[in-house]
Amino acid sequence: MNHPSELKYARTHEWVRIEGDLVVTGISDHAQDALGDLVYVEAPEVGRELTVGEQAGVVESVKTASDIHAPVSGVVVEINENLEDDPDFVNDDPYGKGWIYKIKPSNLADVEQLLSNTDYESGL
């Protein structure tokens, strides 16, 4: 599995990357692999306020559906609209083209509560 060390991870299999004052998030390589080929991604609405751990959306594969949870609290400022037509970006490039949404965190310290790649992998 590919879990880049520059990212942080939630126990619920989301990853985060800080870009300026925003947090970009998606699902981990482990999660997309376990789900199989994705057929649908439901991202949260832009403007929605999320709390850590809250259900933010859903990813559906040919096998099953799984909730996406908010790894940090804040307001959703952008979603990856490319996933509407190409949800397989999450399978092919979960940390690049497969990002799901960007959030303006209410407390950037939430990121420090997340797991390093090694801690995340040891819990798999």
And the tokens for 62? 């040919």
- Provide the pLDDT confidence category of residue 63 given band limits of 50, 70 and 90: confident
> Quick one: average pLDDT of 96-120?
96
- Provide the pLDDT confidence category of residue 10 given band limits of 50, 70 and 90: very high
Count of domains forming the chain = 1
- pLDDT tens-digit series, residues 27-62: 999 999 999 999 999 999 999 999 999 999 999 999
- pLDDT tens-digit series, residues 74-86: 999 999 999 999 9
> Is residue 40 one of the residues assigned to a domain?
yes
Mean pLDDT over each residue of the chain, to the nearest integer: 96
CATH, residue 28: 2.40.50.100
Q: What is the pTM of this model?
A: 0.96
Q: From CA 36, how far away is CA 38, in angstroms rounded? A: 6
Long-range contacts of 110-113 (CB under 8 A, 24+ apart): 110/52, 110/71, 110/72, 110/73, 110/74, 111/8, 111/16, 111/18, 111/23, 111/71, 111/72, 113/52
Is 58 within 8 Å of 68 (Cβ atoms)? yes
> Is residue 33 one of the residues assigned to a domain?
yes
